[in-house]
Chains A and B, each alone.
Chain A
Amino acid sequence: MGDSSVSSIIRQAPGRAIRPGALSSNGKLRKRLELFFLLTPALVFFVGFVLAPMVVGAYYSAFKWEGFGPVSDFIGIRNYVRALSDSVFQLGVVHNLIYAVLSLIIQLPLSVGLALLLNRNMRGQGFLRLVAFAPYVLSEAITAVAWLLMLQPGGFVDQGMKAVGLGSLIQLWLANTHIVLYTLFAVITWKYIGFGIILFLAGLQGIPIELREAAVLDGANGWQVTRSITVPLLGPTIRIWAFLAIVGSLQLFDLVWIMTLGGPANASTTMVTYLIDRGFQRYEFGYGSAVAVILFIICFTFALLYQRFVLRRDTEGATTRMVGQ
């Protein structure tokens, strides 16, 4: 299938209109060489580092294998049955879903709102944008270690809350099994809000000023302009952001691993921390591979459905290129 679609793209490539009549054999060869040189590097990397490991992972997932010696103990789908019936893995799935839903209902309004504010003409606009974006530039490991230290009892966060009179709201942020999940979500929001803001600021630049001016001339107030013009026209950006946010939530790992190792007592475990714990900490590589395949199927199914039903209008007639996470 890939083969025919590639050649159809080539035939339609702009600026390379096909002369009436047959191509000279020289032209054909050149086209082949071009195809060969342009495609090979990407193909090698894709096959070697994406497709092949996926196939190998799926193969391992059918074995009980601890990483050393021959892969010989074939156990069929027992790894999958075990993962799906393991309460800790189920807990991880639930946590991932909570993160996905929370990011839609909290991060989305927050980042759209901040983007609208930062889009206004005001003094220090550039500086404020920089401040909002700064956490996103930090590496995830540094963010995690910094917040781990600040969130210790009596640490920076507690001191800050006492200083502004919120001392009664202080919790054991990382030690309370009922709170740790939301503490981590707050740190994730702090870290990734800048990415949403930048994306929405770019989206706002794409909304023609004339539309808003026309609405204002028709007597619309600021709130009406925002609600009926700006936000609907921001739709495509919001849909892409939501896609990235949900996939990011499903694959969440670094921050959780460094701050809590998924604990205490699995209260903040995610699918990927579970995968790393069983695969690399406990050397259950076969089982870990099965968890990875399940994670892949969940993400892949979600991506396909989302593309098919949500992004369809946005991507019609265009090739979508994912940037970022």
Chain B
Amino acid sequence: MKKYAVLCVISLCLAMIAAPVFANGQKEQAASSSGNVTLTWWHNGTADPLKGVWQKVADDYHAAHPNVTITPVPIQNEQFNTKMPLALQSNDPPDIYQQWGGGQLATQIKSGKVADITNYVSSWIGELGGSVKGWQVNGKQYGIPFDLHIVGFWYRKDLFAKAGISAPPKTMDELNADVVKLKAAGIAPIAIGSKDRWPDAFYWEYFAVREASTAVLQKAMDTQDLSAPAFIKAGEDMQKFLDSKPFQEGFLGTPAQQGAGSSAGLVANGKAAMELQGDWDLSVMTGLTTDKDLASKLGWFPFPQVAGGAGDPTTTLGGGDGFSVTTKNAAAGADFLKYISSPAVQKMLVENNIASIPVNPAATSSISNPVVQSVAAYSGAASFIQTYFDIALPTNPGQALDSAVADFFAGQGTPQSVAESVAKANQ
């Protein structure tokens, strides 16, 4: 009898655990059998204005397509890392979710739940230009970006003038000279948020982009092999640059975007003259200072040329934000992505400061800030946009590279150890 009671308890446990699974199965059937579709949409707009704008985009789409209801679910940016593997393993993944392309996308495709939307988007994807390549895996389209990102130097014109610098540097030698001038004027030359690791990687990656030809870069990403001499040279360039001590005091513990003491905050408040960051830095800086005239004091210049580097001078480092669609409602999801990349929505994203560089060139004219306009123009003229290495590579080697570069910044490691980190992670 005792055993019987135990059995009862166990079977009840099982029933309770299994119940939600069966319930899910039923829900799925209900969704596909009728003409109406409800799409869940995971995006990282947890705060306004982004949250409100995405809600409006979903509502407007529903108004135009009454049989499609879109339910936006805002999710904290960092949580995508932890939530997506679980969601893509489950039977109920979101229909549309935020995706940054590259190797992470390639990793997620192994779940079999991410939809190949090549055929759904072929009629209109041409309007968007070459940037959509970042969301392709083996030539198939698995997502669509809604904006682009370009990494470059944001600098303060007022501090440059104070240090007697007349024009932004075009070569590393000029940049090094400017660092000396700024130090002499008592100004921290460059702010960096090394605590967060990824800002460090921008430097090493840009040195790699300047040292390596486009063919070498593409081959390295495809084969996940950074053993080419250009990548060792990038580390040596990096070492030389670090030796000139261009960064603010205690940069290893500085966050990138949190508070006035962060690297963005230091530039925003005139405590440092430059920062190598994405185009989004303008909006981050605006939020970290009370200075209403900040935008007029800022300028932008691309990462300087490295003497003797084999890289195409107009190659830039960047990426973008996009969305992928899962297999269950792929056609409806792809149509929604078409709507997001349409000129009307793209213009709205620009006007609301959500996208600084829209993916659809038709919306570029809506950019109001002249500095961001020049960034967008630079991006449009780029011969090749190299996606950030940690996104272009699969997740594990990409993160290993970020860590290796961060260790290098903290004085641990060599140009070789950084270049080898990717191969090591894949062992």
Q: How many of chain A's residues have a CB under 8 angstroms from any CB in B?
A: 44
Contact B259 A149 (CB under 8 A): yes
Contact A66 B395 (CB under 8 A): yes
Q: Fill in one digit per residue for A59-80: 1 if any B CB lies within 8 Å of its CB, else 0.
A: 0000000111100000000000
Does B252 lie at the interface of the complex (its beta carbon under 8 Å from any beta carbon of A)? Answer: yes
Does B82 lie at the interface of the complex (its beta carbon under 8 Å from any beta carbon of A)? Answer: yes
Chain B residue numbers with a CB within 8 Å of A149 are 258-259, 261
CA distance A281 to B82 in the complex (A): 8
Contact B253 A264 (CB under 8 A): yes
Chain B residue numbers with a CB within 8 Å of A32 are 1, 5
Chain A residue numbers with a CB within 8 Å of B406 are 263-265
B 65-121 contacts with A by CB, 8 A: 81-82, 85, 88-89, 107-112
Chain A residue numbers with a CB within 8 Å of B255 are 148
A 147-172 contacts with B by CB, 8 A: 148-149, 151-155, 172
Chain A residue numbers with a CB within 8 Å of B9 are 36, 39-40, 43
CA distance A152 to B194 in the complex (A): 12
Residue among B16, B195, B254, B400 facing the most chain A CB atoms (10 A cut-off): B195
Residue among B5, B6, B196 facing the most chain A CB atoms (10 A cut-off): B5
A 187-205 contacts with B by CB, 8 A: none
Q: Would you give the shortest CB distance from A54 to chain B, in whole angstroms?
A: 15
Contact B195 A145 (CB under 8 A): no
Residue among B16, B248, B250, B425 facing the most chain A CB atoms (10 A cut-off): B250
Contact B107 A266 (CB under 8 A): no
Does B197 lie at the interface of the complex (its beta carbon under 8 Å from any beta carbon of A)? Answer: yes
Chain A residue numbers with a CB within 8 Å of B249 are 153-154, 172
Closest to A28 in B: B1
Chain A residue numbers with a CB within 8 Å of B85 are 67-68, 283, 285
CA distance A310 to B219 in the complex (A): 60
Contact A68 B13 (CB under 8 A): no
CA distance A145 to B262 in the complex (A): 12
In the complex, number of A-B residue pairs with CB atoms less than 8 Å apart: 129
Does A3 lie at the interface of the complex (its beta carbon under 8 Å from any beta carbon of B)? Answer: yes
Q: Would you give the shortest CB distance from A171 to chain B, in whole angstroms?
A: 9
User: A68-B88, A68-B89 in contact; A40/B12 too (CB < 8 A)?
Assistant: yes
CA distance A91 to B6 in the complex (A): 45
Q: Is the interface of B mostly helix, strand, loop or mixed?
A: helix
Contact A174 B253 (CB under 8 A): yes
Q: How many of chain B's residues have a CB under 8 angstroms from any CB in A?
A: 49
CA distance A152 to B253 in the complex (A): 7
Contact A263 B13 (CB under 8 A): no
Q: Fill in one digit per residue for B1-36: 1 if any A CB lies within 8 Å of its CB, else 0.
A: 110011011001100110000000000000000000
Closest to B402 in A: A281
CA distance A148 to B256 in the complex (A): 12
A 269-284 contacts with B by CB, 8 A: 277, 280-284
Does B136 lie at the interface of the complex (its beta carbon under 8 Å from any beta carbon of A)? Answer: no
From B12, B109, B254, B395, contact of A152 by CB (8 A):
B254
Chain B residue numbers with a CB within 8 Å of A43 are 9, 13
Does B412 lie at the interface of the complex (its beta carbon under 8 Å from any beta carbon of A)? Answer: yes
Q: Fill in one digit per residue for A29-41: 1 if any B CB lies within 8 Å of its CB, else 0.
A: 0001001100110
Contact B5 A266 (CB under 8 A): no
Q: Would you give the shortest CB distance from B346 to chain A, in whole angstroms?
A: 31
Closest to B406 in A: A263
Contact A48 B13 (CB under 8 A): yes
Contact A282 B261 (CB under 8 A): no
Closest to B111 in A: A68
Closest to A158 in B: B250
Does A133 lie at the interface of the complex (its beta carbon under 8 Å from any beta carbon of B)? Answer: no
From B5, B16, B250, contact of A153 by CB (8 A):
B250
Does A7 lie at the interface of the complex (its beta carbon under 8 Å from any beta carbon of B)? Answer: yes
Contact B13 A44 (CB under 8 A): yes
A-B contacts besides A44-B13, A66-B396, 7 pairs, CB < 8 Å: A68-B110, A69-B110, A172-B250, A172-B252, A261-B197, A265-B406, A265-B410
List the interface of chain B (C-beta within 8 A of A): 1-2, 5-6, 8-9, 12-13, 16-17, 81-82, 85, 88-89, 107-112, 194-197, 248-255, 258-259, 261, 394-396, 399-400, 403, 406-407, 409-412, 425
**24 CB < 8 A contacts A-B:** A3-B2, A32-B5, A35-B5, A36-B9, A40-B12, A43-B13, A44-B13, A44-B17, A48-B16, A48-B17, A68-B107, A152-B259, A152-B261, A174-B252, A177-B411, A261-B196, A263-B194, A263-B195, A263-B410, A267-B410, A280-B81, A281-B395, A282-B399, A284-B396
